[in-house]
Structure 1
């Protein structure tokens, strides 16, 4: 062959090889395989094997040609691919790779409509930026632990059993791996449900998007809408009060898919730093007190609940188990809390005393929180149950209130009645006007007026069908494929747990119905927008429409309520 022809041929081969290399794509997919199974990407009808990632066996990756038309993933045994995805995928390739996709889903990223901001955050909220909760995707959390220890934790569901583990966090655009993770069941009564809640604690030096302590919330059981708690957290953000943020994740333990879960920041010292100290290492947190209805035998004997009642100046009376300290320089110091309850007991009830109130409490933040608890029908917070709330001492003897764990809301109850939550007059809402703090605050005429203005505004701007229906439609489109998957999965909760209910037969009936709801297969669309006639459950839309109509008649909407001028400032 003449030299110039040989050189031209070599150049042609090199060009073809470069073109082929440039047309190669790295494919990435999360898929759970059984023993003997592998994953392949099928590009324009041809199979190309993928390999498990070194970080997690459920993420499979490999190289194959770029698709001319479409591609899909398949589960294979040997050379035969036995299970393929239902959809064909259109190319979604950037920088020579697909995002981390999920097997048998029609989308990897999708916009989720949420609630618009109504009020700027109160000044105490100094939240550091974080990408922990992407609004356009559902990441994956994979825990790997000794299976015998996991089984022991599940068998002893009523005990505090910690399991050492590793965790891999996979989102469309990245993957993070964590060693020395602690994994455990969480909650109280929820431990008895088929689908349970979990806590994850990262190693001392590790953080995921700035957070060390995370909660996996068992959406779907008992709440068949899957979205109530997430929607309440987003409402809390919209009204500018301190709150955890939330999102959704797919959760796996070892070689088992556990399901779709809410992903929520746990309120721990690291959370306090991130939400009140802008994430600064130099931030010195004050005392963080939890109020918990789940009292101890000692507090029950004395009828001591976490209602913020004043017991006198004997600090031991506040240490019966109804309150716990989650952050602060001394985990045994209840003196600031005792002083606060004394102030509430003796506080002025005229408008001239508002400045005195502001020396001890961010009144605006508290009124916003109580207004949304009423409008969204929270049946397990301070207003209804003296439970699931925190008081944070952000300055000496000056507190800000916020709530957490909001499953009992928007038409789902386990320990109240739906009629209670539909009440349109807050004076008749269970315990709201009777709890020591709300009772005293609402005796101040100007504070009562502000509270009623907020109720009218939140009812119109966060509960009306014009606002809520598009949000519910977006949740449905965002979650329907994952909810269908979640419902096919076995539950790890106890089969025949011992249940305890209220001595009130009416409440007992509601609890029994909530237990049945947790086991029933109520379609997602029905739970969001249908008609449900249960003791413990209405659809979100059904309940919201009824609540909205009643509240609108009692507390009309005034646009000025959400203007900066209407705010009761905490500055002195």
Structure 2
């Protein structure tokens, strides 16, 4: 390629960036992330579940769980909740194209979400037909989030920062032709997910039967100490008793005092980014505060990974639970929202998490911690970029949210099958206002929360806001140019392929004519 051609391409790229500077990383926000769901970005797909009418009635019956039932009948023991689980058929519709999945496993999903009027579901596909290279999927309504965005931007940021986590997209859900409304579709941390996301060169076969060291820390206070680590369980039933690696890790942690020693046990880069993400999201429902909703995985090289999931309580959802004193934070007095959103990291973990993890990754290596924090602000968590992303997602899902505000022929809102569950009805006005700056039912406006959190973090850790926003802008431009270069490369490859194909065809025709003539 000549220098003149390179100069022309570079000039065109600069002109394109200048012309599109207000729209950088909106639709292409996660394009550079390692996600199998990237082709679904910017779309709301359709999923239809079909089962017998008898099973559908059974589903509705089992779905009836109230908060009173959970607290007083089951004593907050989620394992006592009855689950619906049956084989069903699923149809996906993407860009008008239908794909059928037969006899998949369909199960009620979630824990506290079971007391909402809209509930979640888990899907397990057959090994011979996956959905975008995923076998295990989850459908979640995030009934407590009036914006329908918090979980999505949380997962997107985790993907962008290359933190081990799930990926999410949007779908409309139908069950037996009954409209259930807008749902999040996400993959699930299972052995199949591990096989697809980690380079397991020492593991044989295409199946996930050899993933033996994936542990789910689901119960409250699943701490990394020899006692509470026993609350975590192996994700494969046949390996439930295979706990030796997990327990050995917890024992070894008790003797760790330096970051070098910790790096012999954990992937400290991923662990640091994970706890910073929880802090930025004000997430109390993962590792740092409640101590659950995460997985631990020991890779073949012996190093452990922490994998967060479940983001429906991020950015101030269920705030009244925290401010009411039901969730224990590292401060002595209950605070109001403005103080809550401005807390420093010193107050964003419970004491059980301090030694050795927080002590090493934060207190003993604060300069490193702040450096990573600053980079995460530049590459994602800043109002200039996030607000564009929020506006983009809000416009994308608005028609589908509107459909949820319309009562169906049975006199109820779509998908509200748990008639004794906590109501999640809301108006379009609430959708718009809570997406922006207005607090609704003790849930702060999403943009308001992000702006205050960003300002507070910069003030606490003496970071230059103007410099961060400028570097963020440069980062966005860099990503936009990389995306455009990839598009140009794809076009050139396709063009060359077509040219050579056409040339070869013409050459072969010429040879045929020549041979016939001779």
**2:318 matched to 1:413?**
yes
Structure 2 residue corresponding to 1:445, chosen from 348, 351, 364: 364
> Residues 201 and 282 from structure 1, CA distance in 2 versus in 1: closer, same or farther, beyond 3 angstroms?
closer
**2:398 matched to 1:492?**
no
Deviation, 1:533, is 5.3
Do the aligned partners of 2:117 and 2:420 also contact (CA within 8 Å) in 1?
no
The gaps in structure 2 that reach 5 residues or longer are 1-24, 64-80, 324-336, 407-412, 476-518
> Residues 142 and 278 from structure 1, CA distance in 2 versus in 1: closer, same or farther, beyond 3 angstroms?
farther
What aligned pairs does 1:337-352 form with structure 2 within 5 A after superposition? 337-349=246-258
The gaps in structure 1 that reach 5 residues or longer are 1-110, 122-126, 295-304, 312-316, 498-514, 564-572
Which position in structure 2 is the counterpart of 1:307? 223
Which position in structure 1 is the counterpart of 2:239? 330
**2:176 matched to 1:254?**
yes
Which position in structure 2 is the counterpart of 1:361? 266
Q: Per-residue displacement from partner, 1:369-414 (whole Å, max 9, x unpaired)?
A: 1111101111201012101111110135420112001111112125
Do the aligned partners of 1:411 and 1:421 also contact (CA within 8 Å) in 2?
no
Secondary structure of the equivalent of 1:182? Answer: strand
Secondary structure of the equivalent of 2:307? Answer: strand
- Point out which structure has higher relative CO (alpha carbons under 8 A, 6+ apart): 2
Structure 2 residue corresponding to 1:113, chosen from 16, 23, 27: 27
Quote the Cα distance in structure 2 between the aligned partners of 1:289 and 1:223: 29
Quote the Cα distance in structure 1 between the aligned partners of 2:338 and 2:346: 14
What aligned pairs does 1:527-546 form with structure 2 within 5 A after superposition? 527-532=434-439, 534-535=441-442, 537-546=443-452
Which position in structure 1 is the counterpart of 2:501? none
Quote the Cα distance in structure 2 between the aligned partners of 1:277 and 1:285: 12
**2:206 matched to 1:287?**
no
Quote the Cα distance in structure 2 between the aligned partners of 1:163 and 1:348: 49
Secondary structure of the equivalent of 2:380? Answer: helix
Q: Per-residue displacement from partner, 1:287-306 (whole Å, max 9, x unpaired)?
A: 11111135xxxxxxxxxx30
Which position in structure 2 is the counterpart of 1:467? 385
Quote the Cα distance in structure 1 between the aligned partners of 2:107 and 2:238: 26
What aligned pairs does 1:137-148 form with structure 2 within 5 A after superposition? 137-148=43-54
How many residue pairs align between the two structures?
Answer: 403
Quote the Cα distance in structure 1 between the aligned partners of 2:218 and 2:340: 20
Question: Structure 1 stretch 378-387 or stretch 525-534: which is displaced more?
Answer: 525-534
Do the aligned partners of 2:140 and 2:184 also contact (CA within 8 Å) in 1?
yes
Deviation, 1:182, is 1.6
Quote the Cα distance in structure 2 between the aligned partners of 1:554 and 1:116: 29
Quote the Cα distance in structure 1 between the aligned partners of 2:171 and 2:356: 37
> Residues 397 and 440 from structure 1, CA distance in 2 versus in 1: closer, same or farther, beyond 3 angstroms?
farther
Deviation, 1:160, is 1.5
Quote the Cα distance in structure 2 between the aligned partners of 1:133 and 1:278: 25
Deviation, 1:520, is 4.2
Structure 1 residue corresponding to 2:194, chosen from 260, 272, 280: 272
> Residues 421 and 455 from structure 1, CA distance in 2 versus in 1: closer, same or farther, beyond 3 angstroms?
farther
Do the aligned partners of 2:217 and 2:293 also contact (CA within 8 Å) in 1?
yes
Do the aligned partners of 1:318 and 1:338 also contact (CA within 8 Å) in 2?
yes
Do the aligned partners of 2:26 and 2:392 also contact (CA within 8 Å) in 1?
yes
> Residues 381 and 338 from structure 1, CA distance in 2 versus in 1: closer, same or farther, beyond 3 angstroms?
same
> Residues 400 and 357 from structure 1, CA distance in 2 versus in 1: closer, same or farther, beyond 3 angstroms?
same
Alignment root-mean-square deviation, CA? 3.0
> Residues 131 and 552 from structure 1, CA distance in 2 versus in 1: closer, same or farther, beyond 3 angstroms?
closer
**2:290 matched to 1:385?**
yes
Which position in structure 2 is the counterpart of 1:73? none
Do the aligned partners of 1:193 and 1:493 also contact (CA within 8 Å) in 2?
no
Question: Structure 1 stretch 203-212 or stretch 419-428: which is displaced more?
Answer: 419-428
Which position in structure 2 is the counterpart of 1:458? 376
Do the aligned partners of 2:181 and 2:403 also contact (CA within 8 Å) in 1?
yes
Secondary structure of the equivalent of 1:462? Answer: coil
Instruction: Please identify which structure carries the higher helix content.
Output: 2
Do the aligned partners of 2:212 and 2:242 also contact (CA within 8 Å) in 1?
no
Quote the Cα distance in structure 2 between the aligned partners of 1:235 and 1:451: 18
Do the aligned partners of 1:383 and 1:435 also contact (CA within 8 Å) in 2?
no
Deviation, 1:130, is 2.9
Which position in structure 2 is the counterpart of 1:400? 305
Quote the Cα distance in structure 2 between the aligned partners of 1:258 and 1:395: 42
Structure 2 residue corresponding to 1:212, chosen from 126, 135, 139: 135
Do the aligned partners of 1:286 and 1:328 also contact (CA within 8 Å) in 2?
no
Deviation, 1:173, is 5.2
Rg (Cα) greater in structure = 1
> Residues 543 and 278 from structure 1, CA distance in 2 versus in 1: closer, same or farther, beyond 3 angstroms?
same
Q: Per-residue displacement from partner, 1:301-351 (whole Å, max 9, x unpaired)?
A: xxxx3011223xxxxx754xx2121159823211111111112211023xx
Which position in structure 1 is the counterpart of 2:348? 429
**2:114 matched to 1:196?**
no
> Residues 272 and 239 from structure 1, CA distance in 2 versus in 1: closer, same or farther, beyond 3 angstroms?
same
Deviation, 1:112, is 5.2
